Amino acid sequence: MCDLLVHGFIDKESLGLFTGLLDSDGKELWEGDIAREGGRLGVIKYSKQYARFEIEFPTGRAGLYGFYGKIIGNLTETPELLDDL
């Protein structure tokens, strides 16, 4: 039996859900990831309205069915990627 306990705090803003999908490089897609698809930048989000994961672009959103983009960062570690949107 292990007597060692590690206590720590998790920033709830850094938590995300795994989509069950992979990007074009084989990396796991997580909620909050920033992705580039077809020259556009978007954020992976979960839609309660449609009960699905989507990529949200500045001009709209789309389901991840058929997604062939690439993860380039995430909202927690690299939010500056969205500064130019």
Residuewise pLDDT in 10s, the chain (85 residues): 566 666 666 665 556 789 999 999 999 999 999 999 988 999 999 999 999 999 999 999 999 988 899 999 999 999 999 997 6
User: Considering only CA atoms, which of 39, 40, 41, 20 is closest in space to residue 31?
Assistant: 20
Kindly report the pTM of this predicted structure.
0.81
What pLDDT was estimated at residue 2? 63
Report the first-to-last Cα separation within the chain, whole angstroms.
52
Q: Which domains does the chain have, with CATH numbers?
A: 17-80 (2.30.30.290)
